[in-house]
Amino acid sequence: MKLWTAFLNILAKDMRTYYLKPPNVSWGLIFPLAWTGMFFVRSGSGLESIPTLLPGVVAVSVLFGTTSMLAVTVTFEKKNRSFERLLLAPIPLELLMLAKTSGAILFGVANAFVPVLLAAFLADLSGLAWGTFVPAVALIAVASTFLGLFIAVAVSEVFEAQTFSNFLRFPMIFLCGLFFPIAKLPVFLRPLSYALPLTYGADLLHGSVHGAHSMPFALDFAILGAFCVALFAASLVNIRRKWIA
């Protein structure tokens, strides 16, 4: 009960001070809308292209929404030493970091549903497999958040976290099969695609929105889950090694 009190208050504090602030709310709305508009215009086709564009826009919204926030909620707090408050509290490190990241996960999921809501007005989404789509969005949000956490604890400055994030995010968007099929990538790039967590998230989203997926859903979920565990564990190792050194 005591640990839950701490967990919920860390989450509530982050939601109030970071995620629900007007700049972030507007960022959370405008960014996915901009992506949607951009790809819709770029596709040059009619409203029937929305289901094929939707997985990419959803994944990009989640990826940017989550990874950008960790640089603030973790790197910035570490830099101004307020993170020490949390490290001094009698909370297991695992739970503490879950509390610090759950705000970003919720923010990422909320970002994902902005383009979905928009698409629901413009296209027929009756064929969408919600039972796969919702858990896929949630797991992509968790994996992206933990990727953001891994970056945030690996650096000491906010700008380093942003730079490092971009270094990973942009290649990942183009290599994970969201907008360009992996099968059409040059052969030497394909192994790299399969080393990216978003590849499995993209496969789940494509499969659940318009039925085109290359791997069994169970395998996608399992590999994406493994990425979540590995990224979180690696982040904890880094925190113990660097911040409780």
Closer Cβ to another protein, 16 or 42, answer by number: 16
Candidates 7-15, 113-121, 158-166, 188-196; binding stretch for another protein (CB under 8 A): 7-15
* Amino acid letter, residue 202: A
6 contributes a contact to another protein by CB under 8 A: yes
Interface residue with another protein among 41, 88, 183, 187 (CB under 8 A) is 88
Q: Which residue has the tokens 């190792």?
A: 237
Candidates 25-33, 55-63, 87-95, 106-114; binding stretch for another protein (CB under 8 A): 87-95
Q: How far apart are CA 181 and CA 129, in angstroms?
A: 21
Q: Which residues of 63-79 are buried (b: 16+ CB within 10 A; e: fewer)?
A: bbbbbbbbbbbbbbbbe
- As measured in angstroms, the least distance from the Cβ of 84 to another protein is 6
- Rg over CA atoms, the chain: 18
Q: How far apart are CA 130 and CA 185, in angstroms?
A: 29
| Residue 168 contacts residue 154 (beta carbons within 8 Å) | no
Closer Cβ to another protein, 187 or 245, answer by number: 245
- Provide φ and ψ at 155, rounded to 5°: -120, 170
* Amino acid letter, residue 216: P
Q: How far apart are CA 69 and CA 77, in angstroms?
A: 12
- At 190, which helix (H) or strand (E)? helix 190-194
Closer Cβ to another protein, 208 or 235, answer by number: 235
- As measured in angstroms, the least distance from the Cβ of 69 to another protein is 15
Neighbours of 209 (CB within 10 A): 26
Handedness of CA 38, 113, 131, 126 (dihedral sign): negative
156 contributes a contact to another protein by CB under 8 A: no
3 contributes a contact to another protein by CB under 8 A: yes
Interface residue with another protein among 48, 84, 94, 124 (CB under 8 A) is 84
184 contributes a contact to another protein by CB under 8 A: no
Closer Cβ to another protein, 78 or 169, answer by number: 78
Q: How far apart are CA 45 and CA 19, in angstroms?
A: 35
- As measured in angstroms, the least distance from the Cβ of 196 to another protein is 34
91 contributes a contact to another protein by CB under 8 A: yes
- As measured in angstroms, the least distance from the Cβ of 181 to another protein is 45
Interface residue with another protein among 44, 46, 85, 218 (CB under 8 A) is 85
Residues that bind another protein (CB under 8 A): 1-3, 5-6, 9-10, 13, 17, 80-82, 84-91, 93, 243-245
